[in-house]
Amino acid sequence: MELEFSARVHEKKVASDGVVGMIFLLATEMMFFAGLISAYIVNKAGAMAWPPPGQPRLPIAVTGVNTVVLLASGVTMWMFAAKNKRNTLSDNKVIGKNLMMLTVLLGATFLAIQGSEWAKMLHFGLTTKSSMYGAFFYTIIGAHGIHVLAGVFTLFYMMRKITTGTHPSPKSLIDSTAIYWIFVVAIWPCLYYLVYLS
């Protein structure tokens, strides 16, 4: 008579499915931005003058201040995620909610300032058709702006789900949202230096 033994191996996941999915998404986003940056560098190197004569100069100072705003939103998101990891959010929900609200507010402020600067640039004649300089500016900075907008909506969604307690896995939601937002924040100084300062 043979006895069959079956043992269940309980494997603890290193990361949730949401976090793994977000990492794969951001890997493709990094390739997307790498392609845009490469094309920008090649075209800039081959240009006689960059920016071309007659094109308005970009608002370096205002965008520098706006960079600090976005970096601050990354700090507040990191603080919120760190509190979640230490399981201290349940101890003080007010601090957690305030950190989420501040992150959303800073992200929305960044978008509002960028939008007002874009309106000025369009008024001064910098368009996608005015030059390759303009086309690259709106493509690269616009792609980042869309990512920030998606991030703000995701933060709103996370905030709603966390405060109402309707998400089946709030820790996974917070972790994946934090990873996305930190990516959006971290890539911006590179784009700011490349497009505005170099």
Note the pLDDT of residue 81: 87
In a domain, 75, yes or no: yes
Note the pLDDT of residue 23: 92
9: confidence class by pLDDT, cuts 50, 70, 90: very low
pLDDT digits (tens, 9 = 90+) for 52-86: 888 888 999 999 999 999 999 999 999 988 887 77
Counting the structural domains of the chain, the total is 1
In a domain, 151, yes or no: yes
Note the pLDDT of residue 73: 96
In a domain, 156, yes or no: yes
Query: What are the residues whose beta carbons fall under 8 Å from the beta carbon of 132, sequence distance 6 or more?
Result: 43, 47, 52
Please give the model's pTM, rounded to 2 decimal places: 0.85
Domain holding 127, by residue range, is 33-43+59-197
Domain containing residue 137: CATH number: 1.20.120.80
In a domain, 3, yes or no: no
By three-state DSSP, how is residue 172 classified? helix
Mean model confidence pLDDT for the chain: 87
Question: In angstroms, rounded to a whole number, what is the distance separating the alpha carbons of residues 84 and 78?
Answer: 10
In a domain, 176, yes or no: yes
In a domain, 12, yes or no: no
Q: What mean pLDDT comes out for the span 139-163?
A: 92
Query: What are the residues whose beta carbons fall under 8 Å from the beta carbon of 99, sequence distance 6 or more?
Result: 76, 77, 79, 80, 83
